[in-house]
DNA sequence: ATGTCC
């Protein structure tokens, strides 16, 4: 039995016990804690707290759930000298992330076009496990993609300079090394650029249903009744392979650095070690691939809208609001006990949420704070939030990343037997097109926590502010 | 999440 003590309505403490270097903190409500968090997630929060060089606390967001090695919804910062880096605390889908594309279309404009849009998106953007895209790149070009990220995509005609401006890291992480990515990863990545993938990855056409902060919404280009398009995808087989390769490697070398692993899935190496630095550069290379992937899909989405409406997409003002990554480790400066420190911040199923004034934000968001894009499920709302100063102080500038699973995929498939999830969604006015019925069942809304409750918690805890809520109209699923 | 088992 793990003891979890209430700090306040939205914040809970796992006190430091034998072997823990720092305490655990879970941002959650009593209701969600009892209903949606199994014992396995707190065990992983504790395992993370035992890693060398972890600073202050092992954190979990309200969408926390059990994952490979470390919890999804977990955040932890590590000292730049004594800390470690752990692939299992970044996730297999390196730079899995979300972007939101705005438009000047209203729900009325798309009412009679939704079916065409969703069918053509499904045709134009390959999805599903192992799906391959229209682009087949030579190894040399692929290396440019891992070095240059979304910048490569824009350079090759898939998007605009404005897209880069509105992407975390401008869509290109500088400290990336194409040579740190293995052959097998490149083989898998060759034909997958511009593909959606499977699982919880999706492209969704949404309607803006609520505005909570008009000033911020205005500066984000968001208005009531507006059509937005949300993309959730990552680095596909390339990132998966990078994660796997370095997990193997770290599993073998951790002992050489005197690290005793409490869970092999949480294999790690010192950030300052040869292996640690190499993983960091490979991870960033895979992250760049993911930025390019979402960028190329953005272009395909714009073309799809153009062809359905018969007007150039520029006329529909389909610009990028923001692109966030929620599976990554970043070098960031944070204040620790009154002093500025350089930290390796791991976010696994957690979103950066920097406050207004932060120097890393694009000029246009300097006075509002960073847009935080949070998807719900196929059947529920999604949100635009904004980063806060309190997140900077308490969670290394982090917030939740989505609703967070409540049921295992296996359990969801079982629940979905003799049901048509697409049919049920259609009954609620949501057009869902998936590669497989099983895939849709795995992603049924009931398999997830209530996104509205999750958002209430991050807002109540002061980790982000609500800007707008979108509802799903139509979605494609891998 | 994932060429859902090299």
- And the tokens for A171? 């869509």
Catalytic residue status for A401: yes
A234: nt with nearest C1' to CA: B1
Residue A92 placed within a domain: yes
Among A232, A223, A180, A165, residue whose Cα is nearest residue A201: A232
pLDDT for residue A467 is more than 90: yes
Query: Residue A390 maps to which CATH number?
Result: 3.90.1860.10
A244 CA from B5 C1′ (Å): 14
**Alpha-carbon dihedral A410, A412, A418, A420, rounded to 10 degrees:** -130
CB atoms within 10 A of CB A132: 15
The total number of structural domains that make up chain A: 1
The conformation of residue A355, written as its DSSP 8-state character, comes to P
Q: How far is the CA of A202 from the C1' of B6 (A)?
A: 30
- Residue at shortest CA–C1' distance from B4: A129
Quickly count: other Cβ atoms within 10 Å of residue A389's Cβ. Answer: 15
CA of A385 to C1' of B5 (A): 41
* Distance, CA of A250 to C1' of B6, in Å: 20
Print the domain residue range for A313: 5-406+448-477
User: What's residue A143's pLDDT?
Assistant: 98
pLDDT at A429: 96
Q: Choosing from A299, A326, A346, A401, which is the catalytic residue?
A: A401
The Cα A344–Cα A28 span in angstroms is: 24
Is residue A439 situated within a structural domain? no
Query: How buried is A358 (Cβ within 10 angstroms: 0-12 exposed, 13-18 middle, 19+ buried)?
Result: middle
**Cβ neighbours around A160 below 10 Å, total:** 16
Residue A84 sits at φ, ψ, to 5 deg, of -120, 170
Is pTM beyond 0.95? Reply is yes
Helix (H) or strand (E) holding A363: none
Residue A413 placed within a domain? no
**A139: Cβ contacts below 8 Å, ≥ 6 apart:** A186, A190
pLDDT digits (tens, 9 = 90+) for A410-459: 999 999 999 999 999 999 999 999 999 999 999 999 999 999 999 999 99
Task: Give residue A191's pLDDT band: very low, low, confident or very high (50, 70, 90).
Answer: very high
pLDDT value at position A252?
Answer: 94
Q: Is A55 within a domain?
A: yes
- What percentage of chain A carries pLDDT values higher than 70? 100
Closest nucleotide to A201 by C1' from CA: B1
Name the strand (E) or helix (H) holding A289: helix A274-309
Taking the C-alpha atoms of residue A334 and residue A305, their distance in angstroms, rounded to an integer, is: 42
Nucleotide nearest to A327 (CA to C1'): B1
The answer to whether residues A125 and A298 touch, using CB atoms and an 8 Å cutoff, is: no
Nucleotides of B under 7 A from a protein CB: 1-4
User: Quick check: is A443 in a domain?
Assistant: no
User: Predicted confidence band at A262 (pLDDT cuts at 50, 70, 90)?
Assistant: confident
CA of A182 to C1' of B3 (A): 16
Q: What is the CA radius of gyration of chain A?
A: 21
pLDDT of residue A430: 98
How does pLDDT run across A364-398, given as a tens digit for each residue? 999 999 999 999 999 999 999 999 999 999 999 99
For the cut 90, the answer to whether the pLDDT of residue A133 exceeds it is: no
With respect to residue A430, please indicate whether it lies within any of the assigned structural domains: no
- CA A381-A322-A216 angle, to 5 degrees, is 75
| Residue A176 domain-assigned (yes or no) | yes
How far, rounded to the nearest angstrom, does the alpha carbon of residue A67 sit from its chain's CA centroid? 14
CA A360 to chain centre: 19
Nucleotide nearest residue A436, measured CA to C1': B4
Task: Return d(Cα A360, Cα A372) in angstroms, integer.
Answer: 14
Q: Which residue is nearest to nucleotide B1 (CA to C1')?
A: A93
CB A151 within 8 A of CB A253: no
Residue A134: the pLDDT is 75
Express each pLDDT in A46-61 by its tens digit: 999 999 999 999 999 9
Residue whose C-alpha is closest to residue A147's, from A105, A115, A177, A106: A177
In a domain, A390, yes or no: yes
CA A432 to C1' B2 (Å) is 23
Q: List, chain by chain, residues whose CB lies under 7 Å from nucleic acid strand B.
A: A 68, 92-93, 96, 129-130, 184, 187-188, 192, 197-201, 234, 236-237, 240-241, 409, 478
């Amino acid at each position: 039995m793990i003891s979890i003590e209430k700090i306040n309505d939205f914040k809970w403490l796992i006190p430091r016990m034998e072997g823990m270097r720092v305490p655990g903190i879970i941002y959650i409500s009593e209701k969600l804690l009892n209903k949606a968090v199994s014992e396995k997630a707190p065990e992983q929060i504790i395992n993370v707290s035992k890693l060398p060089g972890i600073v202050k606390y092992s954190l979990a967001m309200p969408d926390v759930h059990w994952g490979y090695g470390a919890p999804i919804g977990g955040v932890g910062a590590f000292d730049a000298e004594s800390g470690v880096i752990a692939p299992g605390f970044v996730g297999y889908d390196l730079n899995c992330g979300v972007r939101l594309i705005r438009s000047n279309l209203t729900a009325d404009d798309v009412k009679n076009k939704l079916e065409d849009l969703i069918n053509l998106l499904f045709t134009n953007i390959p999805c599903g496990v192992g799906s391959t895209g229209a682009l087949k790149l030579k190894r040399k070009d692929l290396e440019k993609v891992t070095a240059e990220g979304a910048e490569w995509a824009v350079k090759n005609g898939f998007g605009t300079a404005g897209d880069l401006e509105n992407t975390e890291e401008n869509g290109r992480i500088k400290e990336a090394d194409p040579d740190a990515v293995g052959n097998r990863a490149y083989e898998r990545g060759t034909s997958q650029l511009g593909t959606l993938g499977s699982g919880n990855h999706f492209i969704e056409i949404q309607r803006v249903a609520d505005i909570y902060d008009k000033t911020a919404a205005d500066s984000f280009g968001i208005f009531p009744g507006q059509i937005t398009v949300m993309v959730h995808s990552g680095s596909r087989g390339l990132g998966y392979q990078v994660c796997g390769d370095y997990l193997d490697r770290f599993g073998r070398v951790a002992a050489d650095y005197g690290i005793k692993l409490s869970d092999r899935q949480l294999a790690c190496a010192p950030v300052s070690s040869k292996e640690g630095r190499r993983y960091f550069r490979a991870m960033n290379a895979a992250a760049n691939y993911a930025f390019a992937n979402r960028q190329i899909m953005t272009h395909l989405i714009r073309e799809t809208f153009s062809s359905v409406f018969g007007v150039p997409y520029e006329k529909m003002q389909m610009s990028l609001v923001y692109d966030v990554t929620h599976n990554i480790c970043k070098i960031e400066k944070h204040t620790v006990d009154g002093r500025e420190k350089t930290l390796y911040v791991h976010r696994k199923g957690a979103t950066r949420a920097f406050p207004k004034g932060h120097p890393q934000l694009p000029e246009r968001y300097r006075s509002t704070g960073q847009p935080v894009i949070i998807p719900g499920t196929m059947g529920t709302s999604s949100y635009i939030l904004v980063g806060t100063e309190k997140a900077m102080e308490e969670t290394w500038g982090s917030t939740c990343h989505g609703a967070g699973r409540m049921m295992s995929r296996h359990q969801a498939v079982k629940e979905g037997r003799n049901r048509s999830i697409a049919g049920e969604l259609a009954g609620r006015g949501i057009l869902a097109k998936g590669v497989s019925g099983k895939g849709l069942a795995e992603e049924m809304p009931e398999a997830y926590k209530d996104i509205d409750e999750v958002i209430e918690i991050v807002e109540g805890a002061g980790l982000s502010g609500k800007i707008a809520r979108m509802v799903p109209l139509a979605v494609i699923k891998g």
